[in-house]
């Protein structure tokens, strides 16, 4: 992993910020692992429907620490800022002298940014609509920015990751990103005496009292002797743009940003 300040390419500061976001992601994963290691939840299972079904519920859990949400927001902010830093650098590389002081309101340097749009501009083409942000970069770089827009991409994985990044970044500027337990996974210590069943799992996110899993038996049971436990992941909760495992979504966004930066490296 590149260390801050070690690279001297035109995009070294852009790459350094991306490296920092990637390091934050590693820290977030470790923080979540530490939180989940103590099993901050209680599960209760019981027979229902006259013994025809066996249901498990989350009866008590410790909320994901707010510091984790703040760390996630910081990581997203840095990932989104990498793209804006990229446009600033491309503007400089195109022969524009960056201001030596903070530009005043109305100065075009204050509007520089990497647009990420899930839909076209409503009343104009992309180049015209994005001119305020991309005024200083070369025509080829503008074309590449347009080509990378989520609404233009046939690569659904990249398009979704960039669209999520834009939505998460905007949301995290205004509020905590809600996190919750979810994606229960059953660890079986012994299922030897467990009767054949059709299993249904609730992917979550899960709150207190939520049904985790339900097993339907072909034949009603008087009692169930079983030795298993559930483990969980940390998910984005509503009303975030997408619900899913936090580190997987962050990793997808980080990979997308890395891909975008790589596309521009031959241009500087």
Number of domains the chain is built from:
1
Residue 2 lies in a domain: no
Asked, for residue 7, whether it belongs to a domain, the answer is no
Summarised one tens digit per residue, pLDDT across range 45-100 is: 999 999 999 999 999 899 999 999 999 999 999 999 999 999 999 999 999 999 99
- Within a domain: residue 141? yes
Q: Does residue 5 sit within a domain?
A: no
Whether 1 is covered by a domain: the verdict is: no
In a domain, 116, yes or no: yes
Other C-beta atoms closer than 10 Å to the C-beta of 181 total 27
DSSP one-letter code for 242: S
pLDDT band, residue 187 (cuts 50/70/90): confident
Over residues 195-245, the pLDDT tens digits come to 677 889 999 999 999 999 998 988 898 888 777 889 999 999 988 988 899
Q: Which domain holds residue 58?
A: 12-267
């Amino acid at each position: 992993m590149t260390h801050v300040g070690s690279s001297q390419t035109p995009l070294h500061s852009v790459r350094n910020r991306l490296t920092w976001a990637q390091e934050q992601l590693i820290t977030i994963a470790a923080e979540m692992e530490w939180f989940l290691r103590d099993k901050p939840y209680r599960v209760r299972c019981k027979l229902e429907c006259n013994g025809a079904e066996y249901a498990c519920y989350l009866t008590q859990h410790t909320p994901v620490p707010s510091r984790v949400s703040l760390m996630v927001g910081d990581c997203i902010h840095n990932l989104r800022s990498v793209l804006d830093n990229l446009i600033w650098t491309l503007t400089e590389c195109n022969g524009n002298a960056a201001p030596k002081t903070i530009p005043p309101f109305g100065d075009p340097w204050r509007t520089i940014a990497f647009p990420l749009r899930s839909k076209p501009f409503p009343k104009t083409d992309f180049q015209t609509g994005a001119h305020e942000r991309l005024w200083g970069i070369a025509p080829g770089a503008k074309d590449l920015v347009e080509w990378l827009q989520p609404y233009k991409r046939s690569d659904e994985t990249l398009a979704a990751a960039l669209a999520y990044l834009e939505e998460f970044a905007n949301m995290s500027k205004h509020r905590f990103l809600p996190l919750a337990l979810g994606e229960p996974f059953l660890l079986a210590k012994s299922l030897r005496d467990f009767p054949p069943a059709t299993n249904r799992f609730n992917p979550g996110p899960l709150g207190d009292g939520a049904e985790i899993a339900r097993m339907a038996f072909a034949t009603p049971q008087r009692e169930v002797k079983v030795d298993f436990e559930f483990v969980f992941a940390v998910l984005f909760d509503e009303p975030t743009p997408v619900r899913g495992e936090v580190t997987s979504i962050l990793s997808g966004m980080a990979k997308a940003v890395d891909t975008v930066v790589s596309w521009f490296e031959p241009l500087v």
